[in-house]
Amino acid sequence: MIQINPVSQPSLVDEVAGRLRQLVESGALTTGDRLPSEPQLVKRLKVSRTVLREAIGRLEAIGLLTVRRGSGTFVANGESLTTATQLIRSALAISTHDLLKVAELRRCIETHCARRAAQFATDAEIADLQAHYQRMTTSAGLPIESVMKYDFDFHKKIAQLSGNDVLSGVLQVIQDFIYASIAQTMEQPGLPQAPHDLHLEMMEAIRARDPERAERAAAAHMDTVDARLKFVAKKSAQD
Amino acid sequence: MIQINPVSQPSLVDEVAGRLRQLVESGALTTGDRLPSEPQLVKRLKVSRTVLREAIGRLEAIGLLTVRRGSGTFVANGESLTTATQLIRSALAISTHDLLKVAELRRCIETHCARRAAQFATDAEIADLQAHYQRMTTSAGLPIESVMKYDFDFHKKIAQLSGNDVLSGVLQVIQDFIYASIAQTMEQPGLPQAPHDLHLEMMEAIRARDPERAERAAAAHMDTVDARLKFVAKKSAQD
DNA sequence: GCAAGGTAACCTGTCAGACATCATACATGG
DNA sequence: CCATGTATGATGTCTGACAGGTTACCTTGC
């Protein structure tokens, strides 16, 4: 059996995307520059506008270009870390859908962020965090989506206090993922919320500028999250 | 001057892309599954084929989907993520400052995985890890890409020992990202490699089934990584 | 002369329909 | 039973059109 590697003929879209990418790589166009308009590119590249637009769309998806309706297409600034988080998002999406495994990833990030927050947070930021805590504790009677949102917001705020927007961005992706999974599989109430004591303990530890204590509190909180997920998993297994 | 945040109304393409992404994230579709054909999706989503195709194209660009002409559109597997990052590699020149943030994410995961590996790894897996270590230490004379690859493989193996494929998957993406950035910005030799002592210490700690020690070793290793990145950052600032 | 406002030109976003090309399954003939 | 041709449905590309947003210029009033 001879190994025949299929002749992969690159599609026109890939061809055009590569050509445009080369424009940026070669330095002919740099951050902020405007590309020629679509009609002009169509004439120059001798392809249909459909193909050109799909190529531009892909380059925009990976963060290389930015399209502004009505004005034109521009070379994006490399600072857009959205591409990094988007990749993480993809990695999450195509991995297994075991919520417990995703929760473990969340644990990695939350404990680390709690520690960092205790190290770096300013007084103003801590006051802001307290405001988030207040909003969360007073959301008891609201619908489940609101309660979850305020809960997520509190954790997201701590992540932001770490000063690392990659970490907070990834945590956001994880939360979106968890929310999407939960919303689909089970909106049963009755599963116990994490006790606010632990949230309070996290906040107090950060306020006391005690990294070790903050990390322990975050870990304890994730223990309750794991326990809840296992509870739900067991329950759905019974059905 | 009041800050007016423009009401960015998401385009139809973004809307559709998000909807399709949710299908995968929610678990309704998993790796290898085929999406409905374009005509079917057009009828269901009530959008034109143009919009649908652009949305699919973007998701393919970030490695979430794979389109096979004549057969259909499928949910991609994790390996295609690597190709997606390779696509970004040359295009995205990430600053060393941002690279430090990504490295912090790597630290979160590596320390946690080292701990878990020390808890869960079987004898056979540890033997496999030793084989990886051997391969890495004997790659001294090889080109820099090979050295880095074996280094990454060693860390990836530890992540796999954690038994959580979400963690190892995300770490894979991070490594690709870091590698892409390094390969672009500076392939200068002269920057010191992480001493193999630390790698050995990580492995020994795992073999000794000592989670605390493994985590400490991983953290120490990441300290050297941070130091290297800061070294490069300082050097590039001098230029 | 200058500034405010309106308008026209240009740009991207979306749509509909058509045809080409590729992959697969099935029927047919050897 | 195997090989081949074909029908079918999938994605790839093209064309033309219109809608909606941006920008620059030009007019108008001061």
pLDDT of A161 higher than 80: yes
Say if B192 is an interface residue toward chain A (CB within 8 Å): no
Min distance B63 CA to chain A CA atoms (Å): 7
Average pLDDT over residues B148-152: 86
- pLDDT number for residue B84: 60
Interface of B with A in 42-81 (CB under 8 A): 50, 53-54, 57-64, 69, 75-78, 81
Distance of alpha carbon A230 from alpha carbon A107, whole angstroms:
15
Residue A2: pLDDT band (50, 70, 90) is very low
Give the nearest chain B residue to A9 (CA atoms).
B69
Our CA-based measurement puts residue B153 at a distance from the nearest CA of chain A, in whole angstroms, of: 18
For CA atoms A230, A149, A113, B106, give the dihedral sign.
positive
Does B87 contact A62 at a Cβ distance shorter than 8 Å?
Answer: yes
Alpha helices (runs of H) in A138-210, residue ranges in sequence order: 144-161, 165-185, 196-207
**Helix B96-120 vs helix B165-185: crossing angle, to nearest 10:** 150
Average per-residue pLDDT in chain B? 81
The reply to whether B10 has its C-beta less than 7 Å from any atom of strand D is no
**Interfacial A residues in 106-125 facing B (CB < 8 Å):** 107-109, 112
Q: Residue A166 pLDDT > 60, yes or no? A: yes
Residue of A nearest to B26 (CA): A181
Judging contacts by C-beta atoms under 8 Å, the chain B residues touching residue A94 are 24, 30-31, 63-64, 75-78, 81, 169
**Does residue B140 carry a pLDDT above 80?**
no
The gap between B69 CA and C23 C1' (Å) is: 8
Place of tokens 């004997």: B138
pLDDT above 50 for A1? no
pLDDT of residue B237: 61
Q: Confidence class of residue A28 from pLDDT cuts 50, 70 and 90?
A: confident
Minimum-distance nucleotide, CA of B11 to C1': C13
Instruction: Report the alpha-carbon distance of residue B137 to residue A62 in Å, rounded.
Output: 36
Q: How sure is the predictor about B46, in pLDDT bands with cuts at 50, 70 and 90?
A: very high
User: In angstroms, rounded to a whole number, what is the distance separating the alpha carbons of residues B215 and B117?
Assistant: 10
| Segment among B46-55, B185-194, B215-224 with least mean pLDDT | B185-194
Asked if the Cβ–Cβ distance from A166 to B105 is below 8 Å, we say: yes
pLDDT digits (tens, 9 = 90+) for A103-128: 999 999 999 999 999 999 999 999 99
For residue A122, give both structure tokens: 């300013």
**Nearest CA-CA partner of B194 in B229, B170, B143, B161:** B229
The residues, ordered by sequence, that sit 6+ positions from B52 with a Cβ below 8 Å of its Cβ are: B16, B38, B41, B42, B45
Higher pLDDT, A96 or B66: B66
- In sequence order, what are the residues at sequence separation of 6 or more whose Cβ sits closer than 8 angstroms to the Cβ of residue A18? A10
The two structure tokens encoding residue B99:
């690279």
And the tokens for A123?
Answer: 């007084």
Using the Cα atoms of residue A173, residue A174, residue A180 and residue A181 in order, give the sign of their dihedral. positive
Rg from Cα positions in chain B: 21
Best mutation site among A108, A113, A222 for testing chain B: the one with the most B CBs within 10 Å?
A108
Please state, in angstroms and rounded to a whole number, the distance separating the CA atoms of residues A11 and B107: 39
| Averaged pLDDT of chain A | 81
More confident residue, A24 or B127: B127
- Chain A CB within 8 Å of residue B84 CB: yes
pLDDT grade for A162, boundaries at 50, 70 and 90? very high
Q: How far apart are CA A63 and CA A83, in angstroms?
A: 6
